[in-house]
Amino acid sequence: MHDPASRHLRDLVYETLANEGRAPSMGELATKTESTPAEVRSRMQALADEHALVLNDEGDAVRMAHPFTAAPMAFVLTPVDGFDDRRWWGGCAWDSFGISAALGLDVRVETACPHCAAVISFVTGPETAPPEDLAVRFPRPAAEWWEDVVATCTKIRMFCSREHAESWTAQHAPGEGYIAPATSVWSLAQPWYGDRIRADFEPHTSEHNQALLEERGFTGDFWKLP
């Protein structure tokens, strides 16, 4: 995947996000790896160039490490287990399912419908699908996701229903995007993100991910990965 030092940095980022709901700073990573800040920043930029994580615009902090995000976004996740006080921000509807999949944990997801502003709150997990009436809208084709991945994630939103997603699209982005059942997105998130924090994780190939999409009905030009 990466050289051992870069892989260690990548794993520390994911470990901190999973266990504490925050991203480690560059200085913290330098201390933990007994490296200089310059060495850490160089390796982190290389990881970002390979889409292993996302840095902020200044390149000096972790912005996202999919499915986790280091900054507040539209989804809040909390464990169903009342004794577990961790909390995560979900970057998008898909990533919210992905956090649960990566952690192997049942969580409560809370967000709001962009169309009617109603609170959406439900429990989901690796074996627990979301309510069938919920819908997820993807703003742009798969080939364009990484042109601005933070903006893409920001706009992958969950709606009360397909009707609300269609109404919002007609008002704000007519003819654009793709609306999918939340249950299908949940199904996709399990294999896409389920191995993300395992010690033996290796990046999926584009061919592998394309097969995951097609197996769950995400076919056609919109879903062709670069």
Which domains are seen in the chain, by residue range? 4-62 (1.10.10.10), 75-223 (3.30.450.410)
List, in sequence order, every residue forming a beta bridge with 79; answer none if it has no partner: 107
The per-residue pLDDT for 1 is 54
The DSSP result for 51-110, as a single string, is TSSEE-TTSSSEEEETTEESS--SEEEEESSTT----EEESSHHHHHHHHHHHT--EEEE
The CA distance from 95 to 97, in Å, is 5
Each residue of 73-123: pLDDT tens digit? 999 999 999 899 999 999 999 999 999 999 999 999 999 999 999 999 999
DSSP state of 221: G
Tell me, what's the pLDDT at 28? 97
Nearest to 124 by CA among 140, 136, 138: 136
**Torsion angle in degrees (nearest 10) through CA of 135, 22, 193, 183:** -20
Model pLDDT, residue 119: 98
pLDDT, position 174: 98
Which portions of the chain are predicted below pLDDT 70? 1
pTM of the model: 0.96
The pLDDT value given to residue 82: 86
Q: What per-residue confidence (pLDDT) applies to 51?
A: 97
Cβ contacts of 99 within 8 Å, gap of 6 or more: 67, 68, 77, 88, 90, 107, 193
